[in-house]
Amino acid sequence: MMMTSSSPSCPSSSPSKVHMDGDLLLSLALAKQWSELLTELNEFQNEPKEDLTEEKETSSSSCQEEEGEREERRDASSSSSSSSQSSDSTESPLFITEVETGNTIAHLAAMDGSIEVLKLLLSLTKEKQDEKGEKNKPDLKREEQEEKNTRPHASSVKTFPISELLRKKNSSNRSPLSTCEGEITRLERKLEEKSSRPRKAEEVFKLEKKLKALREARKWLLQNAYSPVERLFYGEGTFEEMYEEFAHNVDALREGLEFYNGVPYPFLCVEENDRRKIRWIALQKFSSEENLNSSTSTVKEGGKPSQTRAAISSPLELRDNQGNTLLHLVHFEVDVGDEEEEDVEEEGSDYEDEEESALHKRKQRELSSKKNKNSQCRNQREDGEPSSCEKTDTPWPSEVDVSEDEEEVLSSITPTAVKALTESDKDTLKTLRCLLRYPQVRRLINEKNDYGETPSHYIVADAPSGDAAMAALVILVRSGADLNIQDLQGRTVLMAFCEAHGDGPWVKWCLTPKKEGGGGADENMKDLEGRKLEYYIKMGEDGDSDDDDEEDDDEWQDEEDEEDATDEKS
């Protein structure tokens, strides 16, 4: 077996001290010899901390016998192991990886549901992180302060302490958590197949036992290697879980997901149209200490400093890494039809990119969780037992808080437009109306993101139809939205509207003065290229024509293929 790292030797001055052999540890993990692996890790953990960074020395004669025994154990386990390599990012043997897959010991332990190994790995890596943190403490403080002064968005606040090893990606860009989830999916399908056929009860029992261990490992990883926001993102994300995560640490709501454009958790609630969560979040306040740390800072738009954003006290005032407010993230769902079902079928066929897989799984959980939403705490209240959420001093939103008056939300929209809206569109409009009830949000209605776009720019472009966009715009205008604000390209809201949806009754409404019940848009405004509204109307119409032409081309191509096939047969 080829190894890229040499075997460690015992220092001559301290023959009793133990040095971890990364190749041996990986071999034991690949062979699933978890008890032997735990023995090796425990021996190493009991040594003084200086052993973590102690330099290798020449072996003495007293250590040769011990080293020989280790070599024999390694050779005995090597039959199940391929070549390994040390990680470039750290000298610790805990980070040694298998060449073919890039899996670490943590990946292998997670895939087998070995929580005890994961716990010990976390303990060892935390010790090393703490040691490095003490050495670099002054520099870290200065860097954090500089970051806070330059980045006002969600990710500029302090991050949750995590273990690098338990989050390390393998060659397929998958973390130990992701590999654990992949194994759970595989065994669930295997168990389903066996359950549908007459099999020995012993086989089913073994699968169920293994699944239980994997699910416990997944839960442990979420609790110990991920931040509160990430736990909700990768987990089920129910109201009760959100409440448990943030009831005693509201400041954690600031934390954002980097691979999801730095979006904090309240933004995800808006995308999910979960108004119950939004109402609870609206009751929360950030601590004065965190508020001081996120002091005023200059925001750049188009590479030039343009405005200063003050410190915030409410989660409703958060922004993501692109400067978007909660209103920017009001999202219309689009029915993807059979495409979503195809994605579900292909999900377990191979390991996908972890970020895309996480987003897909989250969407699937959203669809299923809506059916059972809030049932647990409701049942507890019906039984007369206080739910876990009611045991704190934080107010618990009642069922009345979740209800919405649909007539109030849609009263200002024309009957024709209302008929064209889907139930999903109406749900999104209720979320928009819910947000605009809060003064902290209404103050942001004309705020720009880093591209100069207001929430109105964003929402009309995201809407699946012109009718849905107009319905949202009516609500926004009645709450103070200005349709004549221009983005960095000089586009007004009406220009962005027509670019996405072309001509329609919304143009007339937008151009009607506000005092007459319209949007108050200026027809004569020009973008930075000197183009007026007519250009964007034509662009939207041409876009629709291009789509029709593509459909016609596809039909023509299908007919031509059928003719060719007929000619070949004849």
DSSP secondary structure of 98-141: ETTT---HHHHHHHHT-HHHHHHHHHHHHHHHHHHHHHTHHHHH
What is the model's pLDDT at position 481? 96
**Burial 528-540, CB ≥16 within 10 A → b, else e:** eeebebebbbeeb
Indicate if the pLDDT at residue 199 is higher than 50: yes
SS3 at position 413: coil
Those residues with Cβ within 8 angstroms of residue 443's Cβ, 6 or more apart along the chain or in another chain: none
Q: Which of 451, 520, 461, 516 lies closest to 489 in space, CA to CA?
A: 451
CA distances from 242 to 64, 276, 359, 385, 457 (A): 55, 11, 18, 20, 30
- Burial degree of 249 (CB within 10 A; 0-12, 13-18, 19+): exposed
Mean pLDDT of 297-320: 63
What are residue 297's DSSP bridge partners? 309
Domains and CATH numbers, the chain: 22-39+94-133+162-226 (1.25.40), 403-542 (1.25.40.20)
Question: Distance from CA of residue 393 to its chain's centroid?
Answer: 29
Between CA 207 and CA 23 the distance in angstroms is 30
Range with the lowest mean pLDDT among 176-180, 339-343, 447-451, 531-535? 339-343
Enter the tokens of residue 295.
Answer: 């002091």
Indicate if the pLDDT at residue 90 is higher than 80: no
What is the model's pLDDT at position 450? 94
What is the model's pLDDT at position 404? 55
Question: How many other CB atoms are there within 10 angstroms of residue 214's CB atom?
Answer: 25
Between CA 102 and CA 104 the distance in angstroms is 7
Indicate if the pLDDT at residue 116 is higher than 50: yes
- 97 phi, psi to nearest 5 deg: -125, 155
Enter the tokens of residue 353.
Answer: 């990119």
Which secondary-structure segment (H or E) carries 29? helix 22-30
Q: Which of 65, 55, 53 lies closest to 16 in space, CA to CA?
A: 65
Indicate if the pLDDT at residue 310 is higher than 70: no
Question: Distance from CA of residue 87 to its chain's centroid?
Answer: 26
Between CA 129 and CA 148 the distance in angstroms is 22
Instruction: Dump pLDDT digits (tens) for 397-434.
Output: 544 344 555 565 566 566 666 777 888 999 999 999 99
Which secondary-structure segment (H or E) carries 334? none
Range with the lowest mean pLDDT among 34-38, 117-121, 185-189, 371-375? 371-375
What is the model's pLDDT at position 201? 77
Count Cα atoms within 13 angstroms, Cβ side, for 304.
4
Indicate if the pLDDT at residue 470 is higher than 80: yes
Those residues with Cβ within 8 angstroms of residue 376's Cβ, 6 or more apart along the chain or in another chain: 238, 240, 387
What does the DSSP 8-state code read for residue 226? S
Mean pLDDT of 488-493: 96
CA distances from 442 to 445, 447, 515 (A): 5, 10, 20
SS3 at position 331: coil
Range with the lowest mean pLDDT among 222-226, 342-346, 499-503, 516-520? 342-346
More confident residue, 506 or 64: 506
Between CA 277 and CA 283 the distance in angstroms is 10
Type of residue numbered 465? S
Indicate if the pLDDT at residue 135 is higher than 80: no
Between CA 181 and CA 111 the distance in angstroms is 8
User: What mean pLDDT value characterizes the chain?
Assistant: 73
What does the DSSP 8-state code read for residue 273? T
Residue 22 confidence class, pLDDT cut points 50, 70, 90 = confident
Question: pTM of the prediction?
Answer: 0.67
Enter the tokens of residue 217.
Answer: 């490992």
Between CA 36 and CA 22 the distance in angstroms is 14
Longest CA–CA span in the chain (Å) reads: 97
Indicate if the pLDDT at residue 445 is higher than 90: yes
Cβ atoms of 440 and 316 within 8 Å: the answer is yes
Instruction: Dump pLDDT digits (tens) for 147-181.
Output: 444 433 444 333 444 578 899 999 999 999 999 99
What is the model's pLDDT at position 196? 66
Between CA 409 and CA 39 the distance in angstroms is 64
Cβ atoms of 230 and 257 within 8 Å: the answer is yes
Cβ atoms of 117 and 41 within 8 Å: the answer is yes
Count Cα atoms within 13 angstroms, Cβ side, for 250.
18
Type of residue numbered 276? R
